[in-house]
Amino acid sequence: MRVVMIGTGYVGLVSGTCFADFGHDVTCVDKDVEKIESLKRGEMPIYEPGLAELVAANVAQDRLRFASDLTSAVAAADVVFIAVGTPSRRGDGHADLSYVSAAAKEIASSLSRYTVIATKSTVPVGTGDEIDRIIRKERPEAEFAVVSNPEFLREGAAIHDFKHPDRIVVGTNDARARKVMDQLYRPLYLNAAPIMVTDRRSAELIKYAANAFLATKITFINEISDLAEKVGANIQDIARGIGLDKRIGSKFLHAGPGYGGSCFPKDTTALIKIGQDSEAPIRILETVVAVNEQRKRAMARRVSSALGGNLRDKEIAVLGLTFKPNTDDMRAAPSIALITALQDMGAHVKVFDPVGMQQAGRILNDVEYCENAYACAQDADAIVIVTEWEQFRALDIGKLKQLMRSAIMIDLRNVYRAEEIVKSGFAYYCIGKGDPNQGQEASRSEPLPVE
């Protein structure tokens, strides 16, 4: 089948490449000419494990190409995906649909045969109706169907997630469009991935509800972890103890510095607005967003209290900047609020991230970028682990201690076993446990695996 992917970002590039890998003929389009030119040269505009190799293989097989103009590709397409950004609209938190509307208009002018237009971008309920209206207005005679096909992949594991989804959601009442989508996803269907067909509005809401639920789960465990600290319990044991209950599940129960990233913050805010506008406010989510917002800055207060309550002229080493490991995505990363708060308190901040420093450079001001974790620790008054990259899980603690001005570690991801760090002479502060420096931490708990 001939597929066009409009928007060649974290979702569009991965989805387009995976469709090509299934044997479809795919054109990835982006209005960012520089991005398209770099892809044509074989350079990846984003960091996603395994992506460069998969792109190269499919380009070599002539199943994947890149273009900055969609005209000819759309004219010949069976399915055109809209995978453009839907960031928060400045000022009110609604999803900004201007990129989606612009893409719909551009698609309309190039349609030449029956085409399914599938929305992969996360969009508010009713956006499918709006896309339909835009295209019908421009091209009343065109044969097309607008389908919702939300994407659930996770950055950092995007290729695996796309190829082994828990489910594929297709929102349409159009039988012909359904057949086209069935054929498109047939390779996954053969892999036993369930395809769930529903009406378009339900599909649109499924995506927001899924992200809202996951954000709520994270925020719940974060609040329970604060309580665990107060009462001398251990959050890792609690997470395991509730997560083994199949009704709850063990994923997204890692206490930390608050959720961030390119999706949860903007999608939770957008869903709150949708609820309010529909006179069905989602109060639980309003609380989740408020709690999470406060939590990010509260992490800086933890750092400050570990250093006796005063950060003026202190050197703080921050390990990990991206919102999670295995991505270079810095959008709404908790590190941003944390670092800004540390700076507000008078600290000088040094940072290291394995792949996120280039993107961080566009967002963070007045930080010192270091070559590796040890250069970052040099002369630091405290080290803060913010993102649980694998390479931070087995740091040479003795070497860190020698390099640092004072041996203080604030581990916001519970990467280390407290007793070991304390034994090596560090003052160690983590999340959701009694004070390990007083020997209060329950010793059984194991650091949790990466999710």
Q: Which residues are catalytic?
A: 263
- Phi then psi dihedrals of residue 362, to 5 deg: -85, -10
Q: Which is nearer to ligand NAD, 11 or 170 (CB)?
A: 11
- Nearer of residues 103 and 395 to ligand NAD, judged by Cβ: 103
Instruction: Classify each residue of 131-146 as buried b or exposed e, where b means 16 or more C-beta atoms within 10 Å of its C-beta.
Output: bbebbeeebeebebbb
3-state secondary structure of 410: strand
- By CB under 6 A, which span of 150-158, 360-368, 382-390, 440-448 interacts with ligand NAD? 150-158
Distances (CA, A) of 222 to 193, 212, 321, 408, 445: 32, 15, 20, 23, 17
State the nearest-atom distance from the C-beta of 336 to ligand NAD, in Å. 17
Under the binding rule (CB under 6 A), the answer on residue 121 touching ligand NAD is yes
Q: Interacting stretch for ligand NAD, rule CB under 6 A, among 27-35, 168-176, 305-313, 440-448?
A: 27-35
Among 21, 25, 48, 155, binds ligand NAD (CB under 6 A): 155
Is there binding between residue 322 and ligand NAD (CB under 6 A)? no
**C-alpha–C-alpha distance, residues 156 and 178, integer Å:** 30
Of all residues in the shown chain, the one whose CB is closest to ligand NAD is 9
For residues 343, 345, 351, 355, the Cα torsion angle rounded to the nearest 10 degrees is -60
Cβ distance to ligand NAD smaller for residue 165 or 436: 165
Collapsing DSSP states into helix, strand and coil, what is residue 109? Answer: helix
> Given candidates 3, 4, 6, 400, which one binds ligand NAD under the rule CB under 6 A?
6
* End-to-end alpha carbon distance in the chain: 34
Q: Closest distance between ligand NAD and the C-beta of residue 79, in Å?
A: 16
Stretch that binds ligand NAD, among 28-36, 139-147, 313-321, 337-345 (CB under 6 A): 28-36
Q: Which residues, 6 or more positions from 201, have their beta carbon under 8 angstroms from its beta carbon?
A: 125, 126, 128, 148, 171
Radius of gyration of the chain (CA): 24
String marking each residue 337-376 x if it binds ligand NAD according to CB under 6 A: ----------------------------------------
| Cβ–Cβ under 8 Å, residues 267 and 122 | yes
| Cβ closest to ligand NAD, residue 26 vs residue 384 | 26
Write down the H helix ranges in 334-417: 334-344, 357-360, 373-377, 397-403
| 65 forms part of the interface with ligand NAD (CB under 6 A) | no
CB neighbour list of residue 114: distance below 8 Å, 6 or more residues apart: 143, 144, 176
- From residue 100 to residue 119, the character string flagging contacts with ligand NAD as x (rule: CB under 6 A) and all else as - is --xx--x-------------
Where on the chain is the footprint of ligand NAD (CB under 6 A)? Answer: 6-12, 29-32, 35, 83-86, 99, 102-103, 106, 120-122, 151, 153, 155, 262-263
